[in-house]
Amino acid sequence: MARDGVTGLASRRADAEHAFRRALTAERLRNARLLNLLRFVGVSAFLALALFAAFVLGDPNWRSNNWLLFAAYWAAAGSILWSGGRSERVARVAALGIPLLDMPAVFLLQWSVLAHVPNAESVARATGGLFVLLLIGAMATLDVRELVLAAVVAGTLQGVLEYRTDVDFAAALNSVLIIALAAVGTTYVLRRTTHLVEDVSAEQLRRERLGRYFSPQVAAMLAAAPEGMGGGTSCEVTVLFTDLRDFTARAERLGGAEVVDLLNDCHRRTVETLFAFGGTLDKYLGDGLMAYFGAPVVQADHAERAVRCALAMQETLAGLNAERRSRGQDALHMGIGIHTGTVVLGDIGAPQRREFTIIGDAVNVAARLQELTKERGVGILISASTRACVADKLAFTPIGAVDIRGRVQALDAYVPVPTGVGR
């Protein structure tokens, strides 16, 4: 049993890791496309400013720009934006645009003006600030490797610019050190961000799993508890099976879309009723379902809850049938079997696909009682063990002993009275 718990924990961790990778990949794609847009808008705005300063204001410093290089940079930014919006692969590759396009473009543009300005050292140091801003932008890639690459490229190019202006070694080293410190800071923030994404995706996956199995109230209780869905445990529960009568024959007369719509409507109403009584949905079984009461949160009155839930399910079906009759459609009929017993509860299945479910003889008995509802012509059948747990809180009609496949002795069965007598 301990090994099952460890295996279940490993499976959940694998699911969480997969969810994290999926969320991280999606976030990287969104950020890459955003970076492509910001790059194009920024280059376009800077190009417009340079043209205005050079040819409207007549500033000679701006006229010295390498316009062919600027135009090539602008065209590359536009091309990446256009193609990245149509191809995820291009968008992801474009995440490398900061170290492989933006930083070299800034370096070449600044290099082209150094020989034409009197304050070349100031221009070189200002370029270091631009590299730091680009490093901050590289955080959006959510990839430490790309951030480190950007830091290496920025430090190298800044060092070359400083060398070009003949500044002393200490000043050049200072500029490179600032970039290195910026790289360390952005790397730390990036790691914290990815850890946050991992935590959020794991919590979202956990809540989704809880939402599939449990009522909102039970799911909220388990979500607040640490790893409440671990290895196998033995517990007493009340198992409930439902099945729509003659649904296969009915489905043959309907179109595929009609069958799906009808099943979805029935399951929605049934599960809403199940959750209203605090039941746990185990699985859908085609036109029926399997559920249980009393786990994973202990319910002292789980047998009573199950029987009252079954009665409410039949009332809900009666409401649906009233709607169907008003549309000229025939009525639906449901059989429900209920049994109370000891089961094993836990994550069960192959590593690739596991289910949080119950196994044991009690499950088989409840399923057989559901099958017998059709033979006995009743809507609900419960076992003697469930009847004993409910005691006098509900009224029942005995129907005698019934044979249960796989059991030598017959089992006493009862039909609950829907009037509420005996509460």
What is the DSSP annotation of 1-63?
A: -HHHHHHHHHHHHHHHHHHHHHHHHHHHHHHHHHHHHHHHHHHHHHHHHHHIIIIIS--HHHH
Distance CA 288, CA 290 (A): 7
pLDDT tens for residues 49-74? 877 877 777 766 666 566 778 788 88
**Are both 378 and 237 inside the same structural domain?**
yes
Q: Per-residue confidence at 209, pLDDT binned at 50, 70, 90?
A: low
**Are both 193 and 277 inside the same structural domain?**
no
**Are both 173 and 292 inside the same structural domain?**
no
Element (H, E) at 359: strand 353-359
Q: How many CA atoms lie within 13 A of 31 on its CB side?
A: 18
Give a yes or no: residue 252 inside a domain. yes
**Are both 264 and 346 inside the same structural domain?**
yes
Phi, psi dihedrals of residue 350, rounded to the nearest 5°: -75, 160
Q: Per-residue confidence at 123, pLDDT binned at 50, 70, 90?
A: confident
Q: What would the mean pLDDT of 158-171 be, rounded to a whole number?
A: 76
Our count of domains for the chain comes to 2
Instruction: Out of 174, 208, 242, pick the residue that ends a domain.
Output: 208
**Are both 185 and 308 inside the same structural domain?**
no
Give a yes or no: residue 219 inside a domain. no
Out of 126-135, 189-198, 370-379, least confident range? 189-198
Instruction: Out of 158, 176, 208, pick the residue that ends a domain.
Output: 208
> CB of 292 within 8 A of CB of 237?
yes
Give a yes or no: residue 49 inside a domain. yes
Distance CA 346, CA 354 (A): 10
Q: Per-residue confidence at 374, pLDDT binned at 50, 70, 90?
A: very high
Distance CA 356, CA 8 (A): 9
Q: Residues with Cβ < 8 Å from 17, sequence gap 6 or more?
A: none
Q: Per-residue confidence at 222, pLDDT binned at 50, 70, 90?
A: low
Give a yes or no: residue 221 inside a domain. no
pLDDT tens for residues 295-318? 888 899 999 999 999 999 999 999
**Are both 179 and 261 inside the same structural domain?**
no
**Are both 240 and 348 inside the same structural domain?**
yes
**Are both 167 and 236 inside the same structural domain?**
no
**Are both 345 and 390 inside the same structural domain?**
yes
Give a yes or no: residue 177 inside a domain. yes
Give a yes or no: residue 126 inside a domain. yes
Range of the domain at 104: 2-208
The total number of residues written for the chain in this structure: 423
Residue 117 has pLDDT above 90, yes or no: no
Phi, psi dihedrals of residue 404, rounded to the nearest 5°: -115, 120
Give a yes or no: residue 220 inside a domain. no
**Are both 237 and 276 inside the same structural domain?**
yes
User: What per-residue confidence (pLDDT) applies to 210?
Assistant: 62
Q: Where are the alpha helices (DSSP H) in 94-168?
A: 97, 103-114, 120-138, 144-164
**Are both 154 and 271 inside the same structural domain?**
no
**Are both 138 and 279 inside the same structural domain?**
no
Give a yes or no: residue 130 inside a domain. yes
Instruction: Out of 173, 208, 243, pick the residue that ends a domain.
Output: 208
Other Cβ atoms within 10 Å of 283 Cβ, number: 13
